[in-house]
Structure 1
């Protein structure tokens, strides 16, 4: 169970005494091996404030993958779990540049901080007293305690990050179960330029949304979906792939989708998850000059290595059976193997030990189906990005 901060805890943590207590406890290793000993030392150092101080230290250490300079931030566990990584928040905030903006579920202020850097004027609000007090410490922007479904600003562009976990921490996958619900948000801000952050695992085909749905990935992982409406909205679907310095490339539903279904070429590409989740595999294939192995499978193939994406050079291919794959890998002396699977009921972790790998070579095997035929494509280990 995570620690539940109180307003008094936040007041202490924001004070000079609180900052000193956090610094003292942060000097402890707090590793699994010596955790109980370190907790006892933390209690000796800061007394009855040990629990909120310990939680703050641990949350800041976890936050290094989410925010810049986490050592100055205050978080709750739930707020950190839902927080947006800085490159993603920065990318999203760019559409708000030069606008008056209201983050109506600002929580501890991670998204608000990105918005405040580009907005003409920016305000944050939240119904949670503790998170709002933490946001006041984290971000230099006006704040107000308010229910997101009761607008307190006029003429602002609105950003919302509704809660997507229940009290037990389980994910909510349906828009009607968000807090606040998506339908209620759309009604409350009807006629306003609105952006709603969502989990990328939602079923967007069933989502009642007539604006744009953008899927965003960072470091090979799909990090979020954002729903855009009003003047924000562009194509119905967009997939954006980010690098550490910002957008690397994007593909939209407005692009041509006339890619062929063809036999395997020299190269295979497994599209970024944002492209797959956005349903833009065919549009993406056209940008590469590639085709699909099968019209229902996301793997793409072509004869020239594409620039800027991870690609696999095909060494040999054929009908997949476990026995034939084992023989091929043994003949090639493959001892290290990456296994990619689409369209087949195969668990790579279960398959790998049965292949009895041995040798010094590395390879990637792509297992999929073409029509009803299971196929194996043995490739050079990832060629990386060009």
Structure 2
């Protein structure tokens, strides 16, 4: 069970004595839980649990290593590149983060907003936010009882039920998403959610933006009508600072045709945003099948990992095994869409022992299962 911080814990951690304790414990290897507890208790005394938990959370490396966190707050917090991207759309506005928690989003909003306020119901997280964001005004307030007017409302509702289990139902969020939208009627509203959210559950959202970082889909952001510039958007970010965006307003005149020289698996944000055709049209690609997200073409987009087709045909497990053994493939990456195939189970059944490596894309074209034996390559750009 994660440690439950108290206001006394936060006060200690923010004190000079607490800072010294954190520095001392940070020098320990912390590789054996039982031994670590004993060592930290000897160093710190009665506040050993709060200090140990804080050092362990800081070592996760997700946010500023001088900040204070709870485990749940750190898990839900946006990583800085994603929070920065979302904040950029609100540059120059007055912004109120009504679920500011420990301040991860608030810190990025304050860099670009004209004026910024944070609030939260949880006094412990709010105390941590005061440490993390000392120059930003903070108040304890319920997101469903507005204490501002005119400012853009930003929210990141808790997505766990009373038992601590993850929930996908917006009505179970904290605060409930439909109630928050109703309270904010007539105001600009931006809400961070998990990427698996059903759009039908948030009819008030004029735009749904899917955001990925380094190939991993991180979040969906819901934008109300006053902030929306499209209905669906995919924003693809990289840790090196590069990024690009695709929306449903971009051309989508890409159909399906015979396989080209390459297979391209679009970024997950593109797929989840329903913008596969738009991505294909932008890069001169086409679909293998109208209902499958794999794309193909004679030249892949720059900067992506694509799959150069070596051989393809009708998929049968036995014939694929023979082909891979004949080519000396011992290490195999398996990508699947549109077929009921478990890649890990298939890899075990293939029992490959060769020295070479390859990738295989398994999918269907129409009703026919197909395989594409490929060599994965990182395209420059």
Q: Counterparts of 1:23 and 1:255 in 2: how far apart (Å)? A: 52
Find the partner of 2:75 among 70, 81, 87. Answer: 81
Q: Describe the SS at the equivalent of 2:131.
A: helix
Q: Which runs of 5+ in 1 are unaligned?
A: none
Taking the TM superposition and a 5 Å limit, the aligned residue runs for 1:150-189 are: 150-189=145-184
Q: Counterparts of 1:325 and 1:37 in 2: how far apart (Å)? A: 52
Q: Counterparts of 1:205 and 1:318 in 2: how far apart (Å)? A: 39
Taking the TM superposition and a 5 Å limit, the aligned residue runs for 1:210-225 are: 210-225=205-220
CA gap 1:210/1:2 in 2 versus in 1, 3 angstroms: closer
Taking the TM superposition and a 5 Å limit, the aligned residue runs for 1:2-13 are: 2-13=2-13
Matched, 1:332 2:333: no
Partner of 1:137: 131
Q: Describe the SS at the equivalent of 1:311.
A: strand
Find the partner of 2:276 among 281, 303, 312. Answer: 281
State whether residues 334 and 359 of structure 1, in contact with CA within 8 Å, keep that contact through their aligned partners in structure 2: yes
Deviation at residue 172 of structure 1 after TM alignment: 1.2
CA gap 1:273/1:263 in 2 versus in 1, 3 angstroms: same
Deviation at residue 291 of structure 1 after TM alignment: 0.7
Find the partner of 2:191 among 182, 193, 196. Answer: 196
CA gap 1:184/1:205 in 2 versus in 1, 3 angstroms: closer
Per-residue CA deviations over 1:174-198 (Å, capped at 9, x if unaligned) read 2222111111111111111110000
TM-score, reference length from structure 2: 0.97
State whether residues 310 and 385 of structure 1, in contact with CA within 8 Å, keep that contact through their aligned partners in structure 2: no
Per-residue CA deviations over 1:66-93 (Å, capped at 9, x if unaligned) read 22xx321000011011000110000000
Find the partner of 1:315 among 291, 310, 328. Answer: 310
Q: Counterparts of 2:380 and 2:123 in 1: how far apart (Å)? A: 46
Matched, 1:55 2:50: no
Partner of 2:19: 19
Matched, 1:354 2:349: yes
Q: Counterparts of 1:162 and 1:382 in 2: how far apart (Å)? A: 40
Aligned residue-pair number: 380
Q: Describe the SS at the equivalent of 1:382.
A: strand
Per-residue CA deviations over 1:110-162 (Å, capped at 9, x if unaligned) read 00000011111111000000000000000020000000011101211110000
Q: Counterparts of 1:158 and 1:247 in 2: how far apart (Å)? A: 28
Q: Describe the SS at the equivalent of 1:48.
A: coil
Q: Counterparts of 2:143 and 2:80 in 1: how far apart (Å)? A: 23
Q: Which runs of 5+ in 2 are unaligned?
A: none
State whether residues 195 and 229 of structure 1, in contact with CA within 8 Å, keep that contact through their aligned partners in structure 2: yes
State whether residues 338 and 381 of structure 1, in contact with CA within 8 Å, keep that contact through their aligned partners in structure 2: no
Give me the CA root mean square deviation: 1.2
Matched, 1:123 2:123: no
Q: Counterparts of 2:179 and 2:248 in 1: how far apart (Å)? A: 27
TM-score, reference length from structure 1: 0.96
